Amino acid sequence: MTSPATSSGRPDASTTAPSEADAGRFLVAAEGKLLDLYIETSKVEWVYNTYITADTEFLSAKANARYLRESAQYAKSTVHWDPKRLSPVDARKALLLRLGQPLAAPDDPKAAGELTGIVAEIQGMYAKGRYTPKGHSGSLDLEALSKILRESRDPGEMLDVWTGWHTISRPIKAGYVRFVELGNQGARDAGFGDLGEMWRAKYDQTPEEFSRTVEGLWQQVAPLYKELHAYVRRKLREAYGDTVVPKDGPVPAHLFGNMWAQSWEHLFPMLAPAGADPGFDLTPILQSRNTDPVGMVKYAERFFVSLGLDPLPSSFWERSMLSRPRDRDVVCHASAWDVDGDNDLRIKMCIDITQEEFHVIHHELGHNYYQRAYREQPYLFRDGAHDGFHEAVGDTISLSVTPEYLKAVGLLETVPGPEKDLGLLLHKALEKVAFLPFALLIDRWRWDVFSGKVAPDEYNASWWRLRREYQGMVAPVPRTEVDFDPGAKFHVPANTPYMRYFLAAILQFQFHRGLAKALGWSGPIHRCSIYDQKEAGKRLNAMLEMGASRPWPDALEAVTGERAMDGTAIREYFRPLEEWLKKENRSAPVGW
């Protein structure tokens, strides 16, 4: 039997049918090598993300090129393996080896180097994006521009900020076009039709089955979104007039308090009916207590500890970046890091003391606790059951940040009564429900781009077709193919698949419902908190410890007792709100 590795230790791409023993030895060697490279790349990437210079960009490109090259060589050795000849564990490892990265380097070393160089370059271009709005003397970064969108109620000012930020992505387009060509080349070399097919193959379904699953989930939740959209459109029209907002069509995308109209919670004060406030605002409470970034993270850590999980290691507090440095460019986009595949856990955030960031921190620590739970698994199983699981864990915890929980940790003196539920649910829906179509359409756009269905001279037009179809949004000013509006969203130049966020938006409610049932909760599930519930922590940790070692239905079943992703949980959570919205929309058009 031909060995799956050459005598030099390099994978042998000609190997087609290794014995079970040979495959096992090959995979053990691959895991050892890739873990070493992962640690090296993670440390370089950390430095680049927290200290952006031309030199760190160069080092980042080099490290990523090496990791992609090596992982691609190992993965491509398994392309023709027959899983029936392998143990179930090794067959799963071989599959995950091929699917472990959002990029597969092309076989050609020159092309592989060019690909990683482009990725580093366009990420850097995004991170350095700035715009000077009218009336400002200096340029502002995305954080500052987003603050204007959150707080302004002047359509002209919001339009200026929205349009200005969307100019920063125009120079990214040329690099992105080439990135698509090289990324597809790498995917084809790894045995896939294109990069989108490779992404869709990692969900324990065929790519075609997964596409149908996703669309089915959207159809389950779309009625709730459309009711919310209709209500918000009417309230915006009342505020800004019918020359700005139509009565029955899609709405200009700059009016929602968010650069991509992916969350609308900052509009709550102008949308809530009289008496429907949630009964509290966490932002001034946190600020009045002089809560600092470390204190914000401590709240989230204590939640996980209350479930029976261990505190974060001391190195977390020594090595994380919790505030924006004053002396250098950094990537402020919040992210959780497992730097060594063991216990070097970190988060990277430029934390503001706000209610929104309070929830984001719980989300990021969900990643860290997942990473630590599966650290005893073999390297290729150190990941979520699928990437939506990884995103959903922290958000499941965030759903338990209820008034009852906030009182338990001393942030509220009294719990608002059930008469405040409408306000709580509306505020939550403006964050969670509003997000669903945007989370879906980003990757639907990329799947069409990667497949060639959408050519470079149609990138922007296709983007806005999808935003109209799924979100009910239109661009506030005419757009052309000189613009590259998808590139104004971090995850596009960063090549971060986005379907995980759509799946997480579904799964977090399914997890929450499952845990509530396991605890015997009999009230409305939006009032349930699993804080200090060790049984919930036991169920959750059983899933976390699996990592990617089992198909995701097994992991889902450990928490919920169910084996299929299901959008009905989000409808159940928001049922009182949906019933109220239907009454509010009786005389108003729904849809666009």
Query: What pLDDT sits at residue 105?
Result: 84
Are residues 182 and 70 both part of a single domain? yes
Q: Where do the H-state alpha helices sit in 86-128?
A: 88-99, 109-127
- Please determine, for residue 3, whether its predicted confidence score (pLDDT) is greater than 80: no
Active-site option among 57, 333, 469, 491: 491
**Total structural domains within the chain:** 2
Mention every residue, 6+ apart, whose C-beta is less than 8 A from residue 42: 337, 338, 339, 340
Are residues 186 and 115 both part of a single domain? yes
Which of 23-27, 271-275, 418-422 has the highest mean predicted lDDT (pLDDT)? 23-27
Calculate what percentage of the chain has a pLDDT beyond 90: 83
Catalytic (active site) residue 364:
yes
Nearest to 453 by CA among 112, 199, 180: 180
Catalytic (active site) residue 238:
no
**Can you tell me the distance from the alpha carbon of 395 to that of 254, in angstroms, rounded to the nearest whole number?**
26
User: Residues 510-522: what's their mean pLDDT?
Assistant: 95
Query: What pLDDT sits at residue 333?
Result: 86
Are residues 61 and 107 both part of a single domain? yes
Residue 392's pLDDT band, with cuts at 50, 70 and 90, is very high
User: Residues 64-69: what's their mean pLDDT?
Assistant: 86
The 3-state secondary structure of 427-490 reads: HHHHHHHHHHHHHHHHHHHHHHHHHCCCCHHHHHHHHHHHHHHHHCEECCCCCCCCCCHHHHCC
**Can you tell me the distance from the alpha carbon of 343 to that of 377, in angstroms, rounded to the nearest whole number?**
13
Q: Where do the H-state alpha helices sit in 272-400?
A: 282-288, 293-306, 314-319, 355-373, 387-399
Query: What pLDDT sits at residue 207?
Result: 95
Nearest to 283 by CA among 220, 222, 351, 218: 351
Are residues 88 and 32 both part of a single domain? yes
- Please determine, for residue 12, whether its predicted confidence score (pLDDT) is greater than 70: no
Residue 96 lies in a domain: yes
Mention every residue, 6+ apart, whose C-beta is less than 8 A from residue 214: 440, 499, 502, 503
Residue 42 lies in a domain: yes
Residue 269 lies in a domain: no
User: What's the distance, Cα to Cα, between the start and end of the chain in Å?
Assistant: 62
- Please determine, for residue 282, whether its predicted confidence score (pLDDT) is greater than 80: yes
Are residues 89 and 147 both part of a single domain? no
Are residues 113 and 85 both part of a single domain? yes
Residue 104 lies in a domain: yes
Residue 21's pLDDT band, with cuts at 50, 70 and 90, is confident
Residue 44 lies in a domain: yes
Residue 396 lies in a domain: no
Query: What pLDDT sits at residue 13?
Result: 39
- Please determine, for residue 240, whether its predicted confidence score (pLDDT) is greater than 80: yes
Are residues 62 and 110 both part of a single domain? yes
pLDDT digits (tens, 9 = 90+) for 472-496: 999 999 999 999 999 999 999 999 9
Q: Which helix (H) or strand (E) holds 552?
A: helix 552-560
Are residues 187 and 62 both part of a single domain? yes
Residue 108 lies in a domain: yes
Are residues 79 and 156 both part of a single domain? no
Nearest to 197 by CA among 189, 207, 206: 207
Provide the mean pLDDT of the chain: 93
Query: What pLDDT sits at residue 16?
Result: 56
Residue 293 lies in a domain: no
Look up the pTM and report it: 0.89
Are residues 71 and 161 both part of a single domain? no
Are residues 70 and 143 both part of a single domain? no
Are residues 40 and 117 both part of a single domain? yes
Sign of CA dihedral 19, 194, 371, 315: positive
Calculate what percentage of the chain has a pLDDT beyond 70: 97
Active-site option among 70, 227, 357, 364: 364
Between these two residues, 82 and 20, which has the higher pLDDT value?
82
Domain region containing 184: 20-122+176-191
